[in-house]
Amino acid sequence: MKILILIGNVPDTTTKVKFNADRTAFDASGVQWIINPWDELALTRAMELKETSGGAVEAVVVANVGRAETEATLRKALAIGADKAIRIDADPKEAGYVASQLATIAAGYDLIMAGIEAADYNGNAVGGMLAEMLGMNSVSAVSGIQIENGQLKINREIDGGSQVVGLPMPLVAIVQKGIAKEPRIPAMRGIMMARSKPLEVVQPIDAAPMTNMVTFEMPPAKAACKMIAEDQAKDLIHLLRDEAKVL
Amino acid sequence: MNFEFTEEQLMIQQAARDYAQRELIKDVIERDYKAEYPAHHVKALAELGFMGMLVSPEYDGGGMDTVSYVLAMEELSKVDSSLGVIVSVNNSLVCYGLEKFGSPSQKEKYLRPLARGEKIGAFLLSEPEAGSDATSQKTTAEDKGDYYLVNGTKNWITNAHSGSTYLVIAQTHPQKKHHGINALIVDKNTPGISLGPHEDKMGMRSSDTHSVMFTDVKVPKENRIGEDGFGFKFAMQTLEAGRIGIASQALGIASGAMERSIAYARERKTFGKFLYEHQSVAFTLAEMAVKIENARNLCIKAAWLKDQGKPYGVASAMAKQYAADIAMQVTTDAVQIHGGYGYVKEYHVERLMREAKLTQIYEGTSEIQKIVISRDLFR
Amino acid sequence: MSVLIYTENWDGKFKKVSFELASYAATVAKAMQLPVIALSLGPVDDSELSKLSAYGVSHIMKNSDERFNTLDNQAIAKAIALAAEKVKATLIVLAHNNLGKAVAPRLAVRQKAGMVSAVHGLPFSYDPFTVKKMVFTGKAFSHAVIHSGVKVITLASNSFGLVENKVDFAPEAFETGLGDADFVTRIEQTNKITGKVLLNDADIVVSGGRGMKSGDNWGQLEELANLLGAGTACSRPVSDEGWRPHSEHVGQTGKIIAPNLYFAFGISGAIQHLGGVSSSKIIVAVNKDPDAPIFEAADYGIAGDVFKVLPQFIEAVKEVKSNG
């Protein structure tokens, strides 16, 4: 069984979001880049599966669409334990474009794992698009994956509860929180071994982006918080009814 | 000249940061209060490779450079410098000393488990009547033909209880003064070794510190490091490396206090303004930043010299003296910025202040470092 | 050409999110001068379907195939695509919920459509088709243009609201021709959350953080939630500690919600948490630390002990309710 993990390179989640002067692009100055948190959890789970599968998982490969500066993120994935990394040398313009690029390298895997969204543009789309492009099955909001007798047993969240489901491979699993407890911290041994693991750079294909982001805005500033004394807490409920009119 | 860290160095820094901010932070206050040894953290850090990160992979170490080590020590010590000193003593005193000066068979037997973090090492130099003065060793290692008979008392020994591999500095030929000193590898389980009570310290309370008493302890000759009489040189050279560890620990204490102060100044309002909008607070933070930047540069410089195989004794003394002294200043200012909150345990800075004090004292007081530095000026 | 919405059902019933989709699509279709059509898959009674016509959608394509209840992503995407081709849909709108997020990307590829998710409110313009979209997990918005002829969007819940507009009810049977091979998801076990208001549906959410001190202290918080008909949520440390299930975690890496009213008890308000709740209409914060960042995001606040405030809230809500 071969597993592919789609990796996004996103600003650290504590980043204070800023845009350029005419608000047409994200201001990346001083930003620390990280593996998209959901993708990192997916990779962690893939490593756990590989380690506990008794050889059933032969390889875990990571792939992203990005320029050379995103290689640090891929090498971290290699340090965490991935066997190989693939970088498609293009700007990740939008979900459809990214999925089209990934489709060129993603065939032949039994399981592809993608994070449910990216922490930057929250597209929620690459995994599902890739599945459709490759004619693979997909399942989303996945919070658990086990391998039982060579089959995948999947926990997914549905609106109104959760389910245990089975789907045949090849499969794209779009994962969310819970898929792994916490992202794995790379060990010295892994960091050392990452030096000699393959990182393949692939040229992009032509694909026309169908969407683009033209400008950005910040949420409107909040008015000052109205403070109520602890022993007058009941008044707050009355304000919610009479002033805010939300009760 | 190049001030950029490599991608690998940054990855190690991040790994240490992730572990510290995710795991160490959870129980650091409680462990300090209870003076509890962080056994589960030591085990986890060993699995990540931090306990022997400087040792060559040939001996099961992480094979990382000293610059990475500075970055890792800083991150760990920002949150928990008790853990920092455990890592530092194991890496830059015990593993370093063994790797650099030990025989192949000593490395095979003792270095491997230390580098894997399965065993922890302790460095036994200080004595009741001589703290940082390594020349006058009252502990004796009497040459009995095929073994040494060790007698005496060592003081302030970090990892004395948790550790199991001791590097003991003792006098064999008193007439030769410091040229008669030897360094011996001693298994803690050897008959005749007993520990004094757990020292109830002001800070770094979750690292274990004890006196160690030797009564007719037999140590095989093959456990002597280097030639007969090499002990003093061994201690001095090893301490040069150890100073980088403690300097980085002090740096971490300072930068941890600054990070907390910045976060607090950003959140807390007084007189209708955020704290950082008051110039007195902003300037204090600016001064902290300069001191910390200086300390970091000194640490990195010493580490870089060591990695290049160049002499670094004076550089590491400068780093240790300066980082320790500014750690004391910065943490004191951090408590002041926090006001009343700074004086309670929940806000961490009072602990950092207590911890900073020790960095000015152990592995060579600030005064000893100034002796090293000034001697170099008048060489 | 037309605007198509996919109205998911839950055991044959619609929810507020379905009516919000209908209201939204009816408004957008009117502006685009196009008909609006709803697609319903799985067994739903006509009496339930007719409720959509209260929000401006008369034309409803229905298919009662029970197999759609497996929420099989590929089959649902195929069925919506078939319907879209049939009615020549140029805009397809789905809810930004678990199923919408799962199906929309597949559908977009099938229809060669550009897709934008988590759209907030009405488009800024129809030509070029420009929508407001949440980015950086609620920390900002972007104006996104879709260039393709067919467009797929998912609508963030509570970002538009309900617009009542009674029209005729005209249901029409819709055949998908899907065979068993098209449904590949095998359900082994389903755990429905019953007797509780679901987080994504809730108009009011009552949430607790580390300041609740222990998972055992949720009783009063749940009592308040029950009284208000609210969903319960928590901050990340709480779910990490295992005090509450991961499904209740709201914030950057958990759920992103936008209720009318959000109560934060003992939550300090880390930037990652605020990202997940900042679209809430009104935020009430109770925290013992008067300098906690949550108060910067809140509309009403009490700097005090959550365990002293909760009983007062419970009592006040009971009073408000009994007075009508």
Instruction: Find the domain containing C296 and state its range.
Output: 204-322
B269 CB within 8 Å of a chain C CB: yes
Of A89-98, A115-124, C22-31, the least confident: A115-124
Is residue B170 within 8 Å of residue B162, measured between CB atoms? no
| Same domain? C268 vs C155 | no
Residue B69 DSSP one-character state: H
Q: Considering only alpha carbons, which residue of chain B is nearest residue C269?
A: B267
CATH of A2-219, one of 2.40.160.20, 3.40.50.620, 1.10.3720.10, 3.30.2130.10: 3.40.50.620
For residue B365, the one-letter residue type is T
Query: pLDDT-based confidence at A122, cuts 50/70/90?
Result: confident
CA angle, B293 then B297 then B300, to 5°: 135
Looking at chain C, which subunits does it touch, using at least 3 CB pairs closer than 8 Å as the criterion?
A: A, B
A39-48, A166-175, B270-279: range with lowest mean pLDDT: B270-279
Tokens linked to B366: 């600030």
pLDDT at position C245: 87
Between CA A173 and CA A190 the distance in angstroms is 26
Same structural domain for residues C32 and C101?
yes
- Total residues found in chain B within this entry: 379
Q: How far apart are CA B111 and CA B353, in angstroms?
A: 34
> What six digits make up the tokens of B203?
């800070």
User: Using alpha carbons only, what angle is made at residue C282 by residues C279 and C286, rounded to the nearest 5 degrees?
Assistant: 110
**What's the whole-number average pLDDT of chain C?**
93
B363 in catalytic set: yes
Interface mutation vs chain A, best among B4, B5, B6, B11, most A CBs within 10 Å: B11
Give the CATH number, domain containing residue C300. Answer: 3.40.50.1220
DSSP A74: H
Which of B:18-77 have CB within 8 Å of A? Answer: 18-19, 22, 47-50, 53, 57, 61-64
Report d(CA C42, CA C166) in Å as an integer.
Answer: 24
> Model confidence at C292, in pLDDT bands (50, 70, 90)?
confident
Conformation bin of residue A198: beta by default, left when phi > 0, alpha when psi is -120 to 50: beta
Specify burial of residue C113 (Cβ count, 10 A radius: 0-12, 13-18, 19+): buried
φ, ψ for residue C45, nearest 5 deg? -65, 150
pLDDT digits (tens, 9 = 90+) for A180-232: 989 999 999 999 999 899 999 999 999 999 999 999 999 887 788 999 999 99
* C218 pLDDT above the threshold of 70: yes
Half-sphere exposure in the Cβ direction for A206 (13 Å, CA)? 0
| Rounded-to-integer distance, Cα A123 and Cα A6, Å | 14
Tell me whether B379 touches chain C (CB under 8 Å): no
Classified as helix, coil or strand, C84 is: helix
Read off the pLDDT of each residue in C175-193 and give the average, rounded to a whole number.
Answer: 93
- pLDDT for the residue numbered B63: 94
Structure tokens belonging to residue B221: 């000759």
Given this model, what pLDDT does residue B273 score? 86
C282 plus C250 within the same structural domain:
yes
Query: For residue A161, what pLDDT band results from cuts at 50, 70 and 90?
Result: confident
The pLDDT of residue B136 is: 80
CB contact under 8 A, B268 and C292: no
Strand pairing category for A59-65 and A84-88: parallel
Q: CA of B373 to nearest chain C CA: how many angstroms apart?
A: 46
Q: Rounded to whole angstroms, how far apart are CA atoms A147 and C48? A: 41
Residue with tokens 């959140």: B267
Neighbours of B342 (CB within 10 A): 23
**Same domain for C35 and C70:** yes
Q: What average pLDDT does the segment A138-149 reach?
A: 95
In chain A, whose CA is at the least distance from the CA of C112?
Answer: A210
Q: Are residues C170 and C34 in the same domain?
A: yes
Model confidence at C256, pLDDT cuts 50, 70, 90, reads: confident
Answer for the pair B247, B302: CB distance below 8 angstroms, yes or no: yes
Question: What pLDDT score was predicted for residue B133?
Answer: 66
Residue A58 CB partners (closer than 8 Å, separation 6+): A1, A2
> Is residue C287 assigned to a domain?
yes
CA distance B310 to A242: 75
Indicate which of C98, C136, C281, C305 best probes the interface with A, i.e. most A CBs within 10 Å of its own CB.
Answer: C136
Q: Report how many domains make up chain C.
A: 2
- Give Cα separations from B129 to B161, C124, C180 (angstroms): 22, 81, 87
- Give the nearest partner residue to C144 out of A167, A213, A233, using CB atoms: A213
Which of B23, B99, B127, B363 does the annotation list as catalytic? B363
User: A230, C188: Cβ pair inside 8 Å?
Assistant: no
Flag if A158 and C301 touch (Cβ within 8 Å). Answer: no
Distance CA A134, CA A116 (A): 18
Q: Is residue C188 part of a domain?
A: no
Residues C238, C249 contacting (CB under 8 angstroms): yes
For chain B, list the domains and their CATH numbers.
Answer: 7-120 (1.10.540.10), 122-232 (2.40.110.10), 233-377 (1.20.140.10)
Q: Which residue has the higher pLDDT, C271 or C14?
A: C14
Token pair for residue B285? 């933070």
**Residue-wise DSSP of C186-219:** EEEEEEE--SS--TTT-SEEEEE-GGG-SGGGGH
Over 70: is that where the pLDDT of C246 sits?
yes
- Pairs across B and C, CB distance < 8 A: 5
Residue of C264, C301, C211 lying closest to A236 (CA atoms): C301
**pLDDT given at position B128:** 87
pLDDT score of A178 more than 70: yes
- Per-residue pLDDT tens over the stretch A1-20: 999 999 999 999 888 899 99
Are residues C267 and C125 both part of a single domain? no
User: Among all chains, which residue has been given the structure tokens 């009983």?
Assistant: C311
**Boundary of a domain, candidates C182, C213, C232:** C182
Picking from C113, C91, C117, the residue whose alpha carbon sits closest to that of residue C29 is C91
Cis (ω within 30 of 0) for the bond into A170?
yes
Residue C192, domain member (yes or no): no
**pLDDT value of position A105:** 98
Q: What is the ipTM of this complex?
A: 0.93
Give the residue ranges of chain B where pLDDT is below 50: none
Residue C324 has pLDDT above 60, yes or no: no
Interface-testing mutation among B10, B12, B48, with chain A (most A C-beta atoms within 10 A) = B48
CA dihedral B10→B16→B22→B26, nearest 10 degrees, is: -150
Do C21 and C127 fall into the same domain?
yes
B345 within 8 A of B351, measured Cβ to Cβ: yes
Contact C99, C131 (CB under 8 A): no
Task: Return the DSSP state at A36.
Answer: -
Residue pLDDT, tens place only, C124-162: 999 999 999 999 988 899 999 999 999 999 999 889 999
- C174 domain-assigned: yes
Residue C76 belongs to some domain of the structure: yes
Q: Is C270 a residue whose pLDDT tops 90?
A: no
Domain of C67, CATH number, reads 3.40.50.620
The minimal CB distance from C142 to the residues A131, A216, A237 is found for: A216
d(C-alpha A5, C-alpha A180), whole Å: 14
Q: DSSP per residue over B13-29, as a string? A: HHHHHHHIIIIIHHHHH
Query: How far is A31 from A15, CA to CA, in rounded Å?
Result: 7
Task: Kindly determine whether residue B269 and residue C293, on different chains, have CB atoms separated by under 8 Å.
Answer: no
The Cβ of residue C49 has, within 10 Å, a number of other Cβ atoms equal to: 21
